[in-house]
């Protein structure tokens, strides 16, 4: 099956796993998805991630992070929004990079120096394509 927007597919799979209350979610792997998972782990939105040794394509398995006790448990990720899409790319300069929920969320940006948060891109003085918002 061909997926026209693999990043949207990744976000949708994570969102569906959050709604269903799953501990893990499997996603077909690519380098940009691994970079996004790395950022989510560094920012504390997920517990961990790892790659499987499946053939012909490895899977990216994300361990979802929850807070609270069993009955009152809720996911750390409240919402995700895809910004730049294949039909409409959204680029921002270093000074125009967005703040998500007044700093409580993150914007993931792909730049010439790699995939990073908007805050890090602002510090480095680089702009790029805004992939998604997560809070």
Note the pTM of the prediction, 2 decimals.
Answer: 0.94
Percent of the chain with pLDDT over 70: 99
Q: Are 55 and 86 in contact (CB under 8 A)?
A: no
Mind giving me the DSSP string for 6-63? Answer: HHHHHHHHHHHHHHHT-SEEEEE--HHHHHHHHHHHHTTSEEEEEE---SSSPEEEEE
pLDDT on residue 54: 87
pLDDT on residue 71: 84
Phi then psi dihedrals of residue 71, to 5 deg: -75, -35
Q: pLDDT tens digits, residue range 27-85?
A: 999 999 999 999 999 999 999 999 999 888 899 999 999 999 888 899 999 999 999 99
Domains of the chain plus CATH, in order, are 6-134 (3.30.1490.10)
Judge whether residue 2 has pLDDT over 80. no
- How many Cβ atoms from other residues are within 10 Å of residue 76's Cβ? 17
């Amino acid at each position: 099956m061909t997926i026209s927007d693999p990043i949207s597919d990744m976000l949708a799979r994570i969102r569906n796993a959050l709604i269903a209350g799953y501990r893990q979610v499997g996603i077909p792997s690519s380098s940009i998805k691994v970079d996004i998972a790395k950022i989510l782990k560094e920012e504390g939105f997920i517990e961990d991630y790892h790659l499987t040794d499946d053939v012909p394509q490895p899977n990216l398995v994300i361990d979802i992070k929850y807070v609270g006790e069993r009955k009152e448990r809720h996911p750390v990720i409240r919402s995700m929004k895809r910004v730049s899409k294949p039909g409409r790319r959204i680029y921002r300069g270093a000074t125009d990079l967005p703040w998500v929920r007044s700093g409580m969320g993150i914007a993931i940006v792909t730049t010439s120096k790699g995939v990073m948060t908007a805050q890090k891109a602002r510090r480095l003085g680089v702009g790029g394509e805004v992939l998604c918002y997560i809070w």
